[in-house]
Amino acid sequence: MPADAICLHIGIHKTGTTALQSAFAAAWGDLAALGVLYPGRRTAHHGPAMSILGRPWGWAQRGGEVADPAVFDRLARQARRHSGRVLISSEQFCEADDQGAARVVAGLGADRTHVVIALRSLGQLLPSSWQQYLKYGQTMAYGKWLRTVLDPEYDGRVTPTFWRRNDHGALVARWAGLLGPDHVTVLVVDDVAPQAIFHTFAELLDIEPDVLLARREISTNRSMTAPESELLRRLNRAVGKELSWQDYETLVRGQVVEGMLSRAAPPEEPRLSTPAWALDVAAQRGATAVAEIRGAGVRVLGDLDALGRLVDSRPQVEADPIDQLPMDAAVAVAVA
């Protein structure tokens, strides 16, 4: 990227963003010494992104707070003042509509802004996306959720952010239309080594890969196993309506979920399996997105066609609820 580029990494969700952002934040001092500004001292720039969306963090009717629009304005001013490269990262930016994206570009400056969008195939994103919604109180079982969001008549009432994030063709077209295709990079992370994305960002920022690779183990964000997912879903159903967002975030997200995920999941513990019909739909939608992205003329790093390939699901459990929780997982939850 140019020496004065503002690199805006907008996700998407479940493409290694947590690990990347943890590395960016941990390398803050080294990046600054190399002329790269990672504004602020938080791990990611979710606050400024949420202020663009105008949507609360958490449950709107039970304690969720909307960020002041000035939060993004302050970030934009700080970025513009820096004469070298600037790195901004939050997957929440990918949910911005046309108006919100235009405000981001106006604030940062179209001449300097370069957007990076990391993508995975929809078939791979389905189970991890559903699990992410579980962490916000979702109670719908995986099979029913799939039938809802993949229905051609889907009305957006269940997990409305899903297609804001995962209509990949529209997402790329939106930013390419605002900035021009030469200012948008699509990074396909399917079937690549875990460290590849760190190497790519090092190349984009013109720094040595070790600056980021040395911090790549600081944060992990592993997926839940099928029993862990079902435990959280049932817990949401039992207590979700009784808690404020602040209590849910502290007790469920911050203690139960983190305690459960702090253990290493045994290899024999079943993972969630996506039914074949859903993978077929995902591949069809992925192929459409591939054509749209290719037509947008943006720079693509990786195998774009991977977004439209049929994902191989190795069935381990049925898509709908199971009734057993491994003892180690139960102990981790009790301790948390």
Instruction: Write the pLDDT tens digit of every residue in 242-268.
Output: 889 899 999 999 999 988 888 888 788
SS3 227: helix
Mean pLDDT value of segment 52-80: 84
pLDDT of residue 314: 55
Q: How far apart are CA 210 and CA 31, in angstroms?
A: 11
The model's pLDDT over 97-139, given as tens digits with 9 standing for 90+, comes to 999 999 999 999 999 999 999 999 999 999 999 999 999 999 9
Half-sphere exposure of 83 (CA within 13 A, CB side): 0
pTM above 0.85, yes or no: yes
pLDDT band at 57 (very low <50, low <70, confident <90, very high): confident
DSSP alpha helix (H) spans, 115-158: 122-134, 142-149
Q: Are strands 113-119 and 6-9 parallel, antiparallel or unpaired?
A: parallel
Q: How far apart are CA 1 and CA 205, in angstroms?
A: 6
Pick the more confident residue, 13 or 317.
13
Q: How far apart are CA 156 and CA 234, in angstroms?
A: 23
Query: Cβ of 312: how many Cβ atoms within 10 Å?
Result: 7
Distances in Å between the Cα of 6 and the Cα atoms of 52, 76, 237 are: 17, 10, 43
Distances in Å between the Cα of 268 and the Cα atoms of 41, 127, 271, 333, 336 are: 39, 18, 9, 19, 23
What is the gyration radius of the CA atoms in the chain, in angstroms? 20
Look over the chain and give the mean of its residue pLDDT values, rounded to a whole number: 91
pLDDT of residue 242: 86
Query: For residues 206, 125, 131 and 336, what is the CA-based torsion angle, rounded to 10 degrees?
Result: -30
SS3 188: strand
The distance from CA 52 to its chain's CA centroid, rounded to whole angstroms, is 17
Q: Are strands 65-66 and 56-57 parallel, antiparallel or unpaired?
A: antiparallel
Q: How far apart are CA 79 and CA 65, in angstroms?
A: 25
At 39, list the tokens.
Answer: 């504004």
Note if the bond before 322 is cis, omega within 30 degrees. no
Q: Match domain 6-335 to its CATH number in 3.10.129.10, 3.40.50.11060, 3.50.50.60, 3.40.50.300.
A: 3.40.50.300
Give me the residue spans of the domains in the chain. Answer: 6-335
End-to-end CA distance of the chain: 44
Query: Cβ of 130: how many Cβ atoms within 10 Å?
Result: 25
Spatial CA neighbour of 135 closest among 268, 261, 309: 261
Query: Cβ of 268: how many Cβ atoms within 10 Å?
Result: 8
Q: Which of 52-61, 253-262, 279-288 has the highest mean pLDDT?
A: 279-288
Q: How far apart are CA 8 and CA 309, in angstroms?
A: 28
- The H or E element that residue 65 is part of is strand 65-66
